[in-house]
Chains A and B, each alone.
Chain A
Amino acid sequence: MYQLLKQIAKTGIVTGPAPLPDATLRALEQRLGQLILEHFGRALAIRHVDAGSCNGCELEIHAMNSPYYNLEGLGIKFVASPRHADMLLVTGPVSRHMEVALKRTWEATPDPKLVVAIGDCGCTGGIFGESYASCGRVSNVIPVDVTVPGCPPAPVAILQGILTAITPGR
């Protein structure tokens, strides 16, 4: 236990102005906090749906939960059920085998709901495109509010996409 506490003390707080220029990142954090307060009572609940990705985008969603990004400090929380969610974060080209599951997840999410499509595949179908097995981009299956390109998009880009989705007027 001593070693564990020592490691925590030694690590300190790593969250903060990370990969992008400091000022930009700080503005991002503040705006996000205010907007979440305004629109979602300081608690944005996100349900992630992998609709057929290569698992690359999932790695970055996991990375977004690292202490470098302190999501919960921003009021953002990943939830286990679409019924608890304000937003769906959808990755992948939508495989035809996930088409029904994605639609049902969307229907199970209470209104008002937001959808952010993550990654080149979610935005355009990406390298997999449309085929006998793939419906292509997410908006071919459910309405999408914001798209975040990248293969995969970095955690900060995903965070910006979430922010864009809860910005009024968009």
Chain B
Amino acid sequence: MTKAFKELGLDATPLAAAMPAFCASIPAGELRGICEQARARKARLVALWGSDETTRRAGYALHLALAFPSGLLWVSVPLSREDPHYPGIADIYPSANRMQRATADLLGIIPSADADRRKWLRHGAWPEGAFPLRKNVEAAARFAQSPDRYPFVPVEGEGVHEIPVGPVHAGTIEPGHFRFSVVGEKILRLEERLGYKHKGIEKRFEQMTLEEGAKLAGRVSGDSTVAYAWAYAMAVESATGTEAPRRALALRGILLELERIANHLGDLGYLGNDVSLSFGFFQFWRLKEDLLRTHAQLFGHRYLMDAIVPGGVAKDLPVAAGEALAGRLAGIEREVATLKSIYDEHAGAQDRFIMTGQLTPELAERMGLTGLAARASGIARDLRVDYPIPPYQQLDPRAASHTRGDVAARVAVRFDEIFESMRLVQTLVQQLPPGEFRAPVAAAAAGARGLGWIEGWRGEVLIALEATAGNRIHRLHPHDPSWQNWPLLEHAVHGNIVPDFPLINKSFNLSYSGTDL
């Protein structure tokens, strides 16, 4: 497989990980050429981040994770200590825009002058010229609060007015700012401003051992705690050469699918609520609560936090518990089938769902839409299908696929995925391999790298890890699929009316915490 990368002129070395993964180092001058060729070969940009290597007798480094059909490629670009500049790639991979700006805010690794150099994660907690993720800045450092002054793009013209929303929203939602430019009720433009929840997660990881980091990984985005915990465990196992027992992998599959079902149930309820079908809200949230209580009873936590640990899982699933789980899921599945037919036939709900917040497959592909939302816009990609790791290899999972790209399609994907996840859990419970559920984790060598890559309910979650001496974390980048999808929400609302924004937003249900870090 390294041959495939040779065609790109890359000297890629395989990285021991659960999925096919490779590392390569290239000079900054070759970055754009490699990205152009990668894009031509249909490789996706999964993540872009930076690191401070001054403690390792170097300068800085820019990192990219690119998903090729043959596997995941981790490209590193060493940059000098004095002048950490690189040519920007946002014209090749549009989703890189905010990632480049965040990397500049945190590390002072700056794209070339023609790139968008507006700040992104930095508001007022640290001043321009200070870079909190650099190694010479203490985590406990306190900078004087400075005014934000973010340069929103002004929209002018007759009858155009602005509606600023947030950061504190009207409902129980994470904080962020949305600036709408509207004509009458129609949305002309939406500009997002995020970063309000930035709480220094990446810096916090660097104060931790590999063992301690598991708990924090499970709290990067609380609604995806299983996906993050698994990706983290996978990265640690990859860096330390640890192999989780087969039983643990099957249990992880069960946990991940349960998280998917629980989140989809909640979203389907809220999507009903947002079109005034409060019946849907109460029905789906009743089913979700049933599932959460089952989680608490069988796994010790309503959201399955800390259930996955490096080396395996924290708790086994005895036979009787597995049978109880299978029984309850079957009951929920029957009710979801009834609710699906009610949603499908409800004229009022369908009228609001269909053709609302549409993202065409062409735009989705060009901009790099990912995960659940991509599967509603004709991009049938799913890590469980495309790069199946155990336990998915034996299960033959099916990726949901709808092409209309509207709220109705994102509703349909959720229904399809609930039923498919139910099938996966039922099969896994029946075929749970015997044996241990947790293996001891070896120590990581200083400089060891690890990758974890999991299809969470929202999309692909990546953990890129570099260890340092004493089994500690040198650098860890947790990447949420919302980085890719937030910019597309700005497109999806074009031409829609303001009152449909909550519905469209909910149909994506993106993470703020996962991208604000």
* Chain A residues within 8 Å of B, Cβ to Cβ: 3-4, 7-8, 11, 14, 19, 48-63, 65-68, 78, 80-82, 92-93, 95-101, 105, 127-134, 151-152, 154
Q: Is the CB–CB distance between B303 and A59 below 8 Å? A: yes
Interface residues on B, range: 35 or more
Is the beta-carbon distance between A58 and B173 smaller than 8 angstroms? yes
When distances are taken between beta carbons in the complex, the residues of chain B under 8 Å from A134 are 199-200
Given contacts A4-B346, A7-B283, A128-B201, contact A97 B172 (CB under 8 A): no
Contact of B142 among A11, A51, A132 (CB under 8 A): A132
A54 touches B204 (CB 8 A): no
Q: How far is the CA of A14 from the CA of B342 in the complex (A)?
A: 20
Stretch at the interface among B45-53, B216-224, B368-376, B383-391: B216-224
Interface centre among A59, A61, A97 (most CB of B within 10 A): A97
Query: How far is it, in angstroms, between the C-alpha of A82 and the C-alpha of B173 when the chains are bound?
Result: 15
The proximity string for B residues 100-118 relative to A, scoring 1 for CB distances below 8 Å and 0 otherwise, is 0000000000000000000
| Interface: B338 (CB within 8 A) | yes
Q: Which residues of the partner chain A approach B125 to less than 8 Å between Cβ atoms?
A: 95-97, 132-133
How far is it, in angstroms, between the C-alpha of A65 and the C-alpha of B289 when the chains are bound?
Answer: 10
Structural contact, A58 and B172, CB atoms closer than 8 A: yes
Residues of B within 8 A of A68 (CB): 286, 289
CA–CA, A108 and B201, complex, Å: 30
Q: Answer whether residue B511 sits at the interface, using C-beta atoms and an 8 A cutoff.
A: yes
Q: Report Cα–Cα, A93/B339, bound state, in Å.
A: 38
Asked whether, in the complex, the Cβ of A14 is within 8 Å of the Cβ of B222, the reply is no
Tell me, yes or no, whether B459 is within 8 Å of chain A by CB.
no
Contact B286 A67 (CB under 8 A): yes
A151 partner residues in chain B, CB cutoff 8 A: 219, 305
Please report B residues at the A interface, Cβ cutoff 8 Å: 123-126, 132, 137-143, 145, 167-168, 170-175, 195-201, 203-204, 215-216, 219-223, 225, 266, 279, 282-283, 285-286, 288-289, 292-293, 296, 302-303, 305, 338-339, 341-342, 345-346, 511-513, 516
**Complex: chain B residue closest to A125, CB-CB:** B199
Instruction: Report chain B residues within 8 Å CB of A96.
Output: 124-125, 145, 198
Q: How many angstroms between the C-alpha atoms of A156 and B28 in the bound complex?
A: 55
Known contacts A56-B303, A132-B200, A133-B199; A67/B282 CB under 8 A = yes
Instruction: Say whether chain B's binding surface is mostly helix, strand, loop, or mixed.
Output: loop
Asked if A66 contacts B286 (CB within 8 A), the reply is yes
Q: Report the separation of the CA atoms of residues A78 and B168 in the bound assembly, to the nearest whole angstrom.
A: 14
Chain A residue with Cβ nearest B223:
A55
- Chain A contacts for B288, CB-based, 8 A: 63, 66
Residue from B132, B140, B512, B513 whose CB has the most chain A CB atoms within 10 Å = B513
A2 vs B123: C-alpha distance when bound (angstroms)? 53
In the complex, are the beta carbons of B145 and A99 less than 8 A apart? yes
Q: Which B residues are CB-close (under 8 A) to A48? A: 171-172
Chain A minimum-CB-distance residue to B297:
A19
Evaluate contact between B139 and A97: CB separation under 8 angstroms: no
CB distance B266 to A62 under 8 Å?
Answer: yes
Contact (Cβ within 8 A) A56 B305: yes
Complex partner residue of B222 from A11, A49, A54, A97, CB under 8 angstroms: A54
Q: Could you tell me the distance in whole angstroms from the C-beta of A114 to the nearest C-beta in chain B?
A: 17
Q: How far is the CA of A14 from the CA of B203 in the complex (A)?
A: 45
Bound Cα distance A121, B220 (Å): 13
Q: Is the CB of B286 within 8 A of A53?
A: no
Central interface residue in A59, A60, A80, by most chain B CB within 10 Å: A59
Which residues of chain A have C-beta atoms less than 8 A from B196's C-beta? 52, 95, 97-98, 101
Q: Beyond A19-B293, A80-B171, A97-B125, is A128–B286 a contact (Cβ under 8 Å)?
A: no
Query: By the criterion CB–CB under 8 Å, are B279 and A4 in contact?
Result: yes
Q: CB distance A131 to B342 under 8 Å?
A: no
Inside 8 A of A60's CB, which chain B residues have their CB? 302
Q: Are A55 and B174 in contact (CB under 8 A)?
A: yes
Residues of chain B with a CB closer than 8 A to A58's CB: 172-174, 222
Determine how close the nearest CB of chain B comes to the CB of A105; give it in whole angstroms. Answer: 5
Q: B295 → chain A, closest Cβ, in Å?
A: 12
Residue of B nearest to A126 (CB): B219
Verify A59–B345 contact, CB threshold 8 A: no
CB atoms of A152 and B204 under 8 A apart: no
Q: How far is the CB of A76 from chain B (nearest CB, A)?
A: 13
